[in-house]
Amino acid sequence: MLKFLLKIGLVIFLQFFSMNIQAQIIEFRDQEREKIVKEQKNFLNAQEKIFLENLKMLKQIKEKLTKIEEILKISNFEIIKLEKQLFEIQKNDFSKLTQEDLLIIKEASISIQEVRDYYKKFEEQYSSLKNQIKKINSLSQEKQKSLVSQIDYLLSKKNDFNFKINAQLTEIKSFLDPISKIL
């Protein structure tokens, strides 16, 4: 009988001990889960912060690119206007024009092409940056900052570009207008 009671006592003790170990294991798992959940939450918060910063940066980039795009559209319109004027002049009979007028037409044609080339160069820089922006989320923070710097640089050159284009177009127009009136 004593052996039987000892066996029952041992079984009860082992079950109690086993339950105690299981409780500790469950508590340990819960602590580990909480720790993992907390780490994931911190990671997600950090990712959200980065995402919001990128979103803000993209909005600023879009505003800057819009300014550059407006200048490009206006300049392109003005260049096209002068190209049309030159084309109309070249369609006419040149018998009424002097040698100097013909030289002016030739120079205007060359100047318009130079302006167009300058415009295309600026437009290519703009297009390149715009294409890089499409991949901005896959870029590192350093490359994103570099891209923003390039856009800022292009934006700072926008005024020089606009001034140079307008000055050349105005000069070309001042030469072509009198010839247009003759024809």
Residue 166's SS3 state is helix
Give the chain's domain count. 1
What values do phi and psi take at 127, rounded to 5? -65, -40
Q: Is 176 exposed, middle or buried (0-12, 13-18, 19+ CB in 10 A)?
A: buried
Q: Is residue 158 part of a domain?
A: yes
Q: Is residue 14 part of a domain?
A: no
Q: Is residue 10 part of a domain?
A: no
What lies within 8 Å, CB to CB, of 30 at 6+ separation is: none
Give the model's confidence band at 171: pLDDT under 50 very low, under 70 low, under 90 confident, else very high: confident
Question: Per the structure block, which two tokens stand in for 64?
Answer: 């800057």
Measure the CA–CA gap between 75 and 118, rounded to whole angstroms.
11
Question: Per the structure block, which two tokens stand in for 49?
Answer: 């912060």
Q: Is residue 173 part of a domain?
A: yes
Residue range(s) defining the domain that contains residue 73: 61-182
Cα 67 to the chain's mean position, in Å? 13
Give the model's confidence band at 96: pLDDT under 50 very low, under 70 low, under 90 confident, else very high: confident
Q: Is residue 6 part of a domain?
A: no
pTM exceeds 0.75 for this model:
no
Mean pLDDT of 108-127: 88
Q: Is residue 12 part of a domain?
A: no
Q: Is residue 152 part of a domain?
A: yes
Q: Is residue 163 part of a domain?
A: yes
Q: Is 139 exposed, middle or buried (0-12, 13-18, 19+ CB in 10 A)?
A: middle
User: What pLDDT does 137 receive?
Assistant: 67
